[in-house]
Amino acid sequence: MHAPAEQRSEIELELNGETRHGRTEPRTQLCDFLRHDLGATGVHVGCEHGVCGACTVLVDGVASRSCLMLAVQADGRRIDTVESLARDDVMNDLQQAFSRHHALQCGFCTSGILMSCVEFLQRVPTPDEAQVRDMLSGHLCRCTGYTGIVRAVLEVAGQRQSGESQQNASENPNDV
């Protein structure tokens, strides 16, 4: 594929389970393409040089900083953003736990952290606190001091292990 600088190339990708199309210049970062062209404004753009982690999305299931990828690189890939987590307006277990534990204040960094957690909990289903903190070292949160986030992630890991998570969600969908 050869995409000339000033030309907008066709990109097709799977965003949160749906096939989506757009056209953009080679220099467009994936985060900007997701927000401006595809309307996935849950992707938050912070530092734009890979330090803060706010723009983290899943690329083929792998947590990646979307400011460090070109939109043209995502052609043919599967992208999941924070918009993929809730089902029928009910937040998923991780989002509910973040709310319960005050794991966010302004919320700017939260969508990126949630997407890191999605892959992290698949790779490390029973993490200890040190592992959670290591995972969070890839994100900057200036509000919380991370304590609530650590609690929320550990709680969800425990719940998923004991299989309580789904039960709780169905019994108390509004307990958030």
- Contact positions vs other proteins (CB under 8 A): 1-6, 9, 25-27, 29, 32, 48-50, 53, 56, 59, 62-65, 67-70, 72-73, 116, 119-120, 134-135, 137-139
CA of 95: how far to CAs of 1, 5, 63, 74, in Å? Answer: 39, 40, 17, 26
Task: Show Cβ contacts of residue 85 under 8 Å, excluding neighbours closer than 6 positions.
Answer: 91, 92, 94, 95, 114, 118
Give the span between the Cα atoms of 130 and 92, in whole angstroms: 24
C-alpha to C-alpha distance for 86 and 94, rounded to whole angstroms: 10
CA atoms within 13 A on the CB side of 33: 30
Output 1 or 162, the one with its CB closest to other proteins: 1
Q: How many residues does the chain have?
A: 176
Of 24 and 96, CB closest to other proteins: 24
Q: 7: which 2 tokens?
A: 């030309």
Nearer to other proteins by Cβ, of 62 and 176: the residue is 62
Least Å distance, CB 70 to other proteins, is 7
Considering beta carbons, is residue 63 or 150 the nearer one to other proteins?
63
Closest separation in Å from C-beta 127 to other proteins: 12
Task: Kindly state the smallest distance separating residue 5's Cβ from other proteins, in Å.
Answer: 4
Distance of CA 81 to the CA centre of its chain: 5
106 three-class SS? coil
Can you tell me the distance from the alpha carbon of 112 to that of 53, in angstroms, rounded to the nearest whole number?
Answer: 6
Partners of 10 in beta bridges: 23
Output the smallest distance, CB 19 to other proteins, in A.
20
Min dist CB 65 to other proteins, Å, is 6
Our CB check for other proteins shows the closer of 56 and 84 to be: 56
